[in-house]
Amino acid sequence: MKETLDFCKAKASSSTANLGPGFDVFGLGLDLFYDTVSIKKLATNHGKIRVTLQDGNTTIPSVASENTASLSVMKIARKYNIKNDIDINVVKGVPVGLGLGSSAASSAAAVTAFDELFRCELSENQLLDFAAEGEVSSAGVKHYDNVVASLFGGFAIVRTYPTLQFSRINTPKDLILVVCVPKIVTPAKKTKVARSVIPRTIGLEDHTRNLANACMIVSGFQYQDTKLLASGINDIIVEPARKNSIPGYDKIRSNALQSGAMAVTISGAGPSMIALTNSRNDAKRIGKSMEEGFADSKIESQSYVCGVSKGAKVISKH
Ligand code: HSE
């Protein structure tokens, strides 16, 4: 029999969503930043959930009903009629509001820890669905692309209709991501704002072009062919509507491509930008050129070179 636990800590990585044409469908885990969530089961049973943020970052709500980690946990507790009072501690490693799946990382770590602590034995789909609850607080809707990547790592495709379903594909060994993160403060509901500018209806030709690109991405992952997958990273529907909210977008893009990037796109809802390469030699240069692109618009930024992350995992329990 498994021992009873009082404490569990899990971590989950940053992620990039969309990869261009895969809006709300593609997610890729980034081995770059991590959130850590600790959950303590208390001896009392009033169904109270308290959330604290170790780094004291005031931009993250610490009201349980607004915090992404506790929102997910509250839904599981309600569903399984778990009444224990619990303390949740979130250590934010993923920068907030910059298109790197910050809220998803907290939710993914939280559901992973909670599932282990209370031995819920949730299926992968249930974990995914509960983790996506946390997205409602930042995006206004449940979207699964960041959470699927944070929870399970690698590249994942998700669909919600007719039922929630996801598929993971291993990533090519030579795939290198260059992420450029601007040092700007975005509004609290940035993703909701970034979603409001997207066209509600699209032309058939645009749909066909985006679909073809998305299929090339999947095909590239399937064949472990970085060049092929990068050739599909071109979105003509969502990205043009969002690019004006990213200072220096055109310059960042052209700089990265001129420095050897195979593809460049907005990371999730932005404003971070992400480039792909298979050359370690080019990666640093691509990053610097992207920083220069932001600098042209008087925005400071920091570029990072990383690989693909593995899924969320429990790192301590007792
Ligand atoms: N697919 C979501 C969007 C990702 O682009 O709005 C948000 O990180």
pLDDT tens-digit map of 282-296 = 999 999 999 999 999
Q: Does residue 151 sit in the same domain as residue 248?
A: no
**What is the CA(188)–ligand 1 centre distance, in A?**
15
- Cα–Cα distance for residue pair 18/195, rounded to 1 Å: 13
Q: Does residue 190 sit in the same domain as residue 219?
A: yes
Average pLDDT of every residue of the chain: 94
Q: Does residue 207 sit in the same domain as residue 150?
A: no
| Binding site membership of 16 for ligand 1 (Cβ less than 6 Å) | no
Q: Does residue 11 sit in the same domain as residue 110?
A: yes
Probe target for ligand 1 pocket from 23, 141, 179, with the most ligand atoms within 8 Å of CB = 23
Q: Does residue 181 sit in the same domain as residue 166?
A: no
Q: Does residue 19 sit in the same domain as residue 85?
A: yes
Check which CATH number belongs to the domain holding 78 and give it. Answer: 3.30.230.10
| Binding site membership of 145 for ligand 1 (Cβ less than 6 Å) | yes
Check which CATH number belongs to the domain holding 298 and give it. Answer: 3.30.70.890
Mean pLDDT, rounded, for 208-214 = 98
pTM of this structure: 0.95
Q: Decide which of 126, 152, 170 is a domain's last residue.
A: 170
Q: Decide which of 147, 170, 193 is a domain's last residue.
A: 170
Q: Is 163 a catalytic residue?
A: no
**57 pLDDT higher than 60:** no
Q: Does residue 16 sit in the same domain as residue 148?
A: yes
Nearest ligand 1 atom to the CA of 267 is 8
Residue 253 lies in domain: 176-306
251 in a domain, yes or no? yes
Three-class DSSP labels, 243-312: HHHCCCHHHHHHHHHHCCCCEEEECCCCCCEEEEECCHHHHHHHHHHHHHHHHHCCCCEEEEEECECECC
Q: What is the pLDDT at residue 61? A: 58
Q: Does residue 248 sit in the same domain as residue 162?
A: no
147 and 132 Cβ atoms separated by less than 8 Å = yes
Q: Does residue 201 sit in the same domain as residue 159?
A: no
Three-state secondary structure call for residue 89 = strand
Could you tell me the pLDDT band of residue 67, with boundaries at 50, 70 and 90? Answer: confident
Q: Does residue 82 sit in the same domain as residue 183?
A: no
16 in a domain, yes or no? yes
Q: Is 135 a catalytic residue?
A: yes
Q: Does residue 163 sit in the same domain as residue 198?
A: no
- Cα–Cα distance for residue pair 59/74, rounded to 1 Å: 21
Could you tell me the pLDDT band of residue 217, with boundaries at 50, 70 and 90? Answer: very high
314 in a domain, yes or no? no
135, 239, 291, 292: which is the annotated catalytic residue? 135
**23 pLDDT higher than 60:** yes
pLDDT, one tens digit per residue, over 144-189 is 999 999 999 999 999 999 999 999 999 999 999 999 999 999 987 8
| Binding site membership of 269 for ligand 1 (Cβ less than 6 Å) | yes
238 and 23 Cβ atoms separated by less than 8 Å = yes
312 in a domain, yes or no? no
189 in a domain, yes or no? yes
Phi-psi region of 165 (alpha: psi -120 to 50; beta: other; left: phi over 0): beta
Q: Decide which of 170, 185, 214 is a domain's last residue.
A: 170
How many independent structural domains does the chain possess?
2
Q: Does residue 160 sit in the same domain as residue 117?
A: yes
For 15, other C-beta atoms within 10 Å of its C-beta total: 32
2 in a domain, yes or no? no
| Binding site membership of 226 for ligand 1 (Cβ less than 6 Å) | no
pLDDT, one tens digit per residue, over 118-140 is 999 999 999 999 999 988 877 77
116 in a domain, yes or no? yes
| Binding site membership of 146 for ligand 1 (Cβ less than 6 Å) | yes
